[in-house]
Amino acid sequence: MRPGDPALYPPKPDQPSTLVHVVSHGWHSGLALSREALKAAALRQGLGRLATVLERFRDFPVVEIGWGEARFYQETPTIADVQLMSALGALFRPGNAAVLHVVGLERSAPQVFRRSEILALRLSEAGLDRLARFVDQAVAPDAEGRPREIGQGLYGPSLFYAATGTFSILQVCNHWVGQALAAAGLPYAAVPAIHPKGLFLDLEWRGEALPLPRPVAL
């Protein structure tokens, strides 16, 4: 159980900060935050691949970003679509290629994903810069060093991009989200992060992230 970095997180009361939402879609989690703030962090550091991806979504104030196994992620928009053999292959087949899923949101994550579990936290500017670096490194470049789009995303205005890393039971989508936040200064524990509920529990317990209530259905 890796501790957080108090020099990065939480931000000091007198420091600028950026709101980040961690979204659980049941089997998969992602990060949603201001596109403008993330792009500013990318430009500050010369992170060309991430800046290019974010420019593609310039018409949207918020982006959601997730990472996962290429075949399973693209074939499984909801938990109801999970196929056993596909899931087992993603978890235990060696060398599974990875993808990034980027979605443009017209409103904040809690307003869009009204049936999802969501945590809210704030990153310092230095923490956001670290997060931007982590995401930029996850964008696999093409032969000319640019992001490689590989298809339409799962919902809304979204795209899949080729990503670095390989997917397995030792490195699933929720690990990636936890590691992205760990780069920004939050604590991280690999074993509970296998599932979104474990990731969320640790972020609430040690990271003091705030769970947002779900709207009450009438």
Confidence of residue 213 (pLDDT cuts 50, 70, 90): confident
For residue 96, is it within any domain?
yes
Note if the bond before 187 is cis, omega within 30 degrees: no
Cβ atoms of 184 and 127 within 8 Å: the answer is: yes
The predicted pLDDT at position 69 comes to 86
Is 7 among the domain residues?
no
The pLDDT value given to residue 85? 41
Check residue 28 and give its pLDDT: 87
For residue 58, tell me if it sits in a domain: yes
For residue 102, is it within any domain?
Answer: yes
Edge-to-edge strand ranges of the sheet holding 29-34: 149-152, 158-167, 96-105, 62-69, 29-34, 17-24, 117-124, 210-212
1 within a domain of the structure (yes/no):
no
Domain membership of residue 144 (yes or no) is yes
Total structural domains within the chain: 1
The answer to whether position 8 is within a domain reads no
* Residue 101 identity: H
| Domain residue limits at 90 | 17-212
Flag whether 4 is in a domain: no
- Does the pTM exceed 0.95? no
Which segment of 47-51, 178-182, 198-202, 210-214 scores lowest on mean pLDDT?
210-214
Cα gap 118→29, rounded to integer Å: 9
- 23-69 pLDDT, tens digit per residue, is 998 888 999 999 999 999 999 999 999 999 999 999 999 999 999 88
Find the mean pLDDT for residues 146-155: 94
